[in-house]
Structure 1
Amino acid sequence: MKNGLRGWFGIHTAEDDLVDLIQVASTDETIRTQLIAILSQDDFTRQSMINTWLAELRLESAPAALIRALADLIDNDKARTALALLTRQKG
């Protein structure tokens, strides 16, 4: 119940941002393709690519929600889950 109330009171977590990013990627082929390319790398390469992208986004003052969502993909398990969701949507 506590988790369900978060959105009602404006509390947004990195996991919520990640879900939003995956939803956007499911409708935007460019974003989806870029995420799949990054998430398909080995763990070290994926983490390096994401950290580089995050540095660029911070310099560009990108939305905090996007930065939180991408930072969440540094986690190996979350990255694998996101990749599975994005590739499952392909077919």
Structure 2
Amino acid sequence: MEQRVNLKFLVKLGKTFTEAYALLKEVYGNEYLSRTQVFEWFKRFKEGRETTEDDPRPDGSQRQKTDENIEGEKFATYFYQ
């Protein structure tokens, strides 16, 4: 969530996607959002989205962060950059 807020701030400052992504990587090190996630949120904020919350899921469920999810994201980020 914190990274989304910071990304929204960078969009409002007029940063490009490349600049914003590089800054997030610099600040958060290995804990930054994936390039795909940053791109999707960058696009949403650029189009005027104000909220940093996830959209509600059609079935009402919520995705929960687990150690398994986090490790999977790190693996994907490492191999698919």
Q: TM-score range by the shorter chain?
A: 0.3 to 0.5
By percentage of residues, which structure has more helix? Answer: 1
User: TM-score by structure 1 length?
Assistant: 0.33
User: TM-score by structure 2 length?
Assistant: 0.35
